[in-house]
Amino acid sequence: MTFRTLYFIPHPPFTSSFWLRMPRIGPYTLHSIHAGYFALDGGAMFGIVPKPLWERHIRADDRNRIPLSTRCLLLESSDRLVLVDNGIGDKEDAKFAEIYALDYSRAELHRSLGEAGFSAEDVTDVILTHLHFDHCGGTTQRRGERLELTFPNARHYVQRAHWNWAMEPNERERASFLPQNLLPLGESGQLYLVDGEQEILPGISVLTVDGHTEAQQLVKVTGEEGSLVFVADLLPTTAHVRPVWVMAYDIRPLVSIAEKKEFLRRAAAEQWTLFFEHDPVTDIASVCEAERGFTLTDERSLEDL
């Protein structure tokens, strides 16, 4: 498998939000892109936390599943359109859709992009926090019997250590790394492997954490207005702000706890805004540290940033 460097001809300036007051950080206008809803077992999402505690925050259905969003972040500048994660996609079968309660009635990736004034062809860069199916399933789509990239003009950024991890999956994560999401990307020549924490585009850097999966990358957007961090599965919902509330899906739960403490302490000190991918209600929030731990404040929609 080989990877090649891509060179892009700049697009004309994007103008979808020219007449609207939209949140901005640095050169980027920010859009919340909803790629659909799904559900996962509440016990798995909260690990050893008893159900009477976590269900105060998110109610489970009669199969013990809690509702979750696949909320992506779109960053629009004069010459780039950057998408962070892309949801589950729509190419899985009916059994898969029933198990995970896939729901595209309220939101869907292409429809959400269209509502923001764009199409998949406009996207110049896709940053994938990690390669579990609920974060990268929208990377590929079916055209008859053929799989193709959903974003044909985009470079796709993945941590090298995580890509290698996903290519030889362990037994715990094998069901989350789906070949139909990954192999077409690896063969496309549009995969760019990132080595560690760095700025990958102007004003956009990545931070790495290893508790949930090897080398998950969080995306930090910084400008004079401050910093917004796409927290992915380090903090899948606002309820997970409690450091010991970690998922049973995490491969290294004690590492997750330590990483959450370090991250939240830094986020509070540097006044970062956190963007939540899976919370069914809240787009963004701030965090503060008090004697009894960390709490979220000013939970709101991205438009209110």
User: What is the separation, in whole angstroms, between the first and last Cα of the chain?
Assistant: 42
Predicted model pTM: 0.93
Extract the tokens encoding 10: 């700049």
183-218: pLDDT as tens digits: 999 999 999 999 999 999 999 999 999 999 999 999
Give pLDDT, residue 20.
58
Closest CA to 166 of 152, 150, 186: 186
88-119 b/e with 16+ CB inside 10 Å = b?
Answer: bbbbbeeeeeeebbbebeebbbbebbeebebe
Extract the tokens encoding 192: 């760019």
Rounded CA gap, 247 and 245, in Å? 7
Q: Is the pLDDT of residue 19 over 70?
A: no
Q: What is the mean pLDDT of residues 125-129?
A: 99
Give pLDDT, residue 21.
73
> If you average pLDDT over every residue of the chain, what do you get?
93
CATH class for the domain made up of 24-304: alpha beta
Give pLDDT, residue 164.
98
Identify how many contiguous H helices and E strands the chain contains and give both numbers: 8, 16
Question: Residues for the chain: how many in total?
Answer: 305
The one-letter amino acid at 185: L
Q: What is the mean pLDDT of residues 69-84?
A: 98
209-227: pLDDT as tens digits: 999 999 999 999 999 999 9
Give pLDDT, residue 144.
86
Give pLDDT, residue 206.
98
The one-letter amino acid at 46: F
